[in-house]
Amino acid sequence: MADRHLIAVEPETRPAMHEVMVAAVEEAGGTIVPIERASALMFADPMAAGAFRGILDAGVNVEWIQLPYAGIETFAHNLDADHLWTCGKGAYAAPVAEWILTAILTSFRAIPRYVRSTSWQSQEGRDLRGAKLTILGGGGITDAFMKLIAPFECEVTVVRRSDTPYPGASHTMSTGDLHNAISDADAVIVALALTEETAGIIDGAALAAMKSDAFLLNVGRGGHVVTGDLVGALRNGAIGGAVLDVTDPEPLPDGHPLWELDNCVITPHVGNTAEMGLPLIADRVRDNVARWIAGDDLLGPVDVNLGY
Amino acid sequence: MADRHLIAVEPETRPAMHEVMVAAVEEAGGTIVPIERASALMFADPMAAGAFRGILDAGVNVEWIQLPYAGIETFAHNLDADHLWTCGKGAYAAPVAEWILTAILTSFRAIPRYVRSTSWQSQEGRDLRGAKLTILGGGGITDAFMKLIAPFECEVTVVRRSDTPYPGASHTMSTGDLHNAISDADAVIVALALTEETAGIIDGAALAAMKSDAFLLNVGRGGHVVTGDLVGALRNGAIGGAVLDVTDPEPLPDGHPLWELDNCVITPHVGNTAEMGLPLIADRVRDNVARWIAGDDLLGPVDVNLGY
């Protein structure tokens, strides 16, 4: 067993992330060592999943792996019961929650229409105060969003795997009750991890269950929404509009029908930008390395069976 | 002196407002009577300032006048010390505060750029969390905004006539210190009443005092900003951008240079729309009529000397 102070930060293909992770490890009292001597691996490039297996194989003493980002689909096939796995889940929640509130207010206040206008328009817009919101997912993003939405006195329904009451929610329902949970919502927010169970959860039937003036906001993964069904629902007015921070395919290719729809806004996966995220993942690495050395529980544990 | 239960609601030129005000008076225990017999006048058309003097002159027993809306510039020349005057100030604060948060988040998250895009963009956007905001005005809108912004842990500076500490603000400064108060703000919010003192308060010098990436948000009156100076500041990058719910002139005419600027969004005086506002002014009339009959202090008193 390696000394828990010995930590590897690899690869170096994303210099800005590598640099803040190295600093965070050292601030927490760790010592940077090559992977061969390390007790833990801080994986420093979310885009380098292809290099992951080779690096981990060299880490013969590695017991714990910290993955970057909250969504770990591209790493999921590597998960095993021989290691302890953590990811960035929860760490990025604050900016993503801000994105959700931005998307809701943008939609409720008809900002896209006003941005495009070059003449004084008729009045359009509704109050968020007291609205009905349904959010899919009960993780860190929902926690952070609950804090931001509290002053608006909304009726918030949380949909998650179990219907155990979610703190602060008006109602908590399980995924099996999805259509019921979204049928009277003014806005439906997708803030789930992408798994086999949740892929395509917003399909034509779900969109048809929504109110015709309701908004769909996706800050989970593009694969949660069946894109073709969404295009149809936006075209025929089955829902009021959508704001998407994630798309399927992603990036959304030029000429895709979603670009042409006035009731759809695409933001390019900026719920948490690289610039916003660096200090947040650095905080997570610092916290977790300190916990690792002290033998405490780690933040953001990945459930190997659930895959997130 | 007329019986305080006897209330006139006039004119009838705006039927929707007249109707909700009549209902509100009756719910509060008042009796609707012609102006000649009334103890108080609920003025039911904010656009009919020209009819005001004639109606009031017929109200020989009128002691109290309730004006609609929060801004009363068009009625201000009628103010006198012989009557008690109240207006809608504070009543509309909640939706206007929502507009402010919408405008800030829209700006910080680069929503206008994404609305206009038809291809996947590079990442842009900043966190509101921890930002520095300066708000001009210490009235009901600021009160309501403080509740919405609290979870974002911003550093909020309030600028108002006196520098008496504003509840919840990080700093309170007087109007004389304006340039100092806005010099390090990420966003400057105008939420003032329009008076001789505040007209043109955001001029070229004020805009030059702002940071080059700061946003200007005006939800007060168009006359608070010197439009020509703003056009210049937006064109030459003296500030980052503007979101204007009020303009000078208003409505902003077709072809005005503000319509053409990518870093300016115009919303057509919808901080509080007619639809949002009706139930709110009805609440105010109901509250105030009940207070009038009971002999209690009224909400939203107008200071005849200050003119708001």
Q: β-pairing, B171-174 with B187-190?
A: unpaired
At residue A302, φ and ψ (nearest 5 deg) are -95, 130
Nearest residue of chain A to residue B100 (CA atoms) = A105
- B86 CB-contact burial (10 Å; exposed 0-12 / middle 13-18 / buried 19+): buried
Whether B241 has a pLDDT exceeding 90, the answer reads yes
Task: Determine the pLDDT at residue A49.
Answer: 95
For residue A241, how far is the Cα from the chain centroid? 21
pLDDT digits (tens, 9 = 90+) for B11-35: 999 999 999 999 999 999 999 999 9
Residue B28, min C-alpha distance to chain A (Å): 24
CATH assignment of B6-91+273-294?
3.40.50.720
CB of B101 within 8 Å of any CB in chain A?
A: yes
How close B159 comes to chain A (CA, Å)? 23
- Angstrom distance (rounded) from CA A172 to CA B273: 33
CB contact under 8 A, A152 and B148: yes
Q: What is the pLDDT of residues B141-194, one digit of tens each?
A: 999 999 999 999 999 999 999 989 999 999 999 999 999 999 999 999 999 989
Instruction: Give me the DSSP letters along B33-67.
Output: --GGG-SEEEE--TT-GGGHHHHHHH-TT--EEEP
Question: Is B105's CB within 8 Å of A109's CB?
Answer: no
pLDDT computed for residue A70 by the predictor = 85
> Which regions of A82-186 does DSSP assign to beta strands (E)?
84-86, 132-136, 155-160, 171-174
Instruction: Tell me which of B228 and A307 has the higher pLDDT.
Output: B228
Residue A261 has pLDDT above 90, yes or no: yes
**Is the pLDDT assigned to residue B261 strictly greater than 90?**
yes
Among A122, A126, A273, beta carbon nearest to B123 = A273
Mutate to test the interface with A, among B101, B219, B272, B275 (most CBs of A within 10 A): B101
Q: For chain B, give every domain's residue range.
A: 6-91+273-294, 93-266
**pLDDT classification of A205: cutoffs 50, 70, 90:** very high
ipTM for the complex?
0.88
**Residue B297 touches partner A, C-beta closer than 8 Å:** no
- Between the CA of residue B178 and those of A69, A141, B101, B134, B135, what are the distances in Å? 42, 38, 22, 10, 10
pLDDT band, very low/low/confident/very high, at A131 (cuts 50, 70, 90): very high
The token pair that represents B195 in the structure block = 């008076």
pLDDT at B244 over 80: yes
What are the residue numbers of the active site of B?
221, 250, 269
Contact map slice: A 8-37 vs B, CB within 8 A:
none
Whether A173 has a pLDDT exceeding 70, the answer reads yes
Q: What is the pLDDT of residue A99?
A: 98
Give the largest CA-CA distance in chain A.
70
pLDDT-above-70 percentage for chain A? 100
Rounded to whole angstroms, the Cα distance separating A99 from A82 reads: 36
pTM of the prediction?
Answer: 0.89
Cβ atoms of A111 and B272 closer than 8 Å = no
Which whole-number Å values give the CA distances from B40 to A115, A283, A286, B7, B211, in the listed order?
A: 43, 62, 66, 5, 49
**% of chain B surpassing 90 pLDDT:** 94
pLDDT reading at A111 higher than 70: yes
- Per-residue pLDDT tens digits for A22-51: 999 999 999 999 999 999 999 999 999 999
The shortest C-alpha distance from B98 to chain A (Å) reads: 8
Contact A151 B148 (CB under 8 A): yes
Chain A residues within 8 A of B148 when measuring between CB atoms: 151-152
Return the beta strands (E) in chain B as ranges.
Answer: 6-10, 31-32, 40-43, 64-66, 84-86, 132-136, 155-160, 171-174, 187-190, 215-218, 241-244, 264-266
Closest residue to A114, CB basis, from B114, B254, B265 = B265
Position A1 scores a pLDDT of 64
Residue of B nearest to A244 (CA): B114
On the question of pLDDT at B1 being above 70, the answer is: no
| Residue A254: predicted pLDDT | 98
Best B265, B273, B275 residue to mutate vs chain A (most A CBs within 10 Å): B273
Q: Do domains B6-91+273-294 and B93-266 have the same CATH topology?
A: yes
Q: Is the peptide bond before B11 cis (omega within 30 degrees of 0)?
A: yes
pLDDT tens for residues B81-133?
Answer: 999 999 998 899 999 999 999 999 999 999 999 999 999 999 999 999 999 99
- Is A288:A277 a contact under the CB 8 Å cutoff? no
DSSP A66: E
Distance CA A95, CA A99 (A): 6
pLDDT at B268 over 70: yes
**Cβ neighbours of B119 in A, within 8 Å:** 254, 259
CATH number of A93-266: 3.40.50.720
User: Does B261 contact chain A (CB < 8 Å)?
Assistant: no
Q: Which residues of A are catalytic?
A: 221, 250, 269
**Which one of A112, A115, A268 has the shortest CB-CB distance to B121?**
A268
Query: What pLDDT, on a 0 to 100 scale, did the predictor assign at position B306?
Result: 87
Q: Kindly tell me if the per-residue pLDDT of A2 is higher than 80.
A: no
The C-alpha atoms of residue B20 and residue B17 are separated, in whole angstroms, by: 5
Residue A68 confidence (pLDDT) above 80: yes
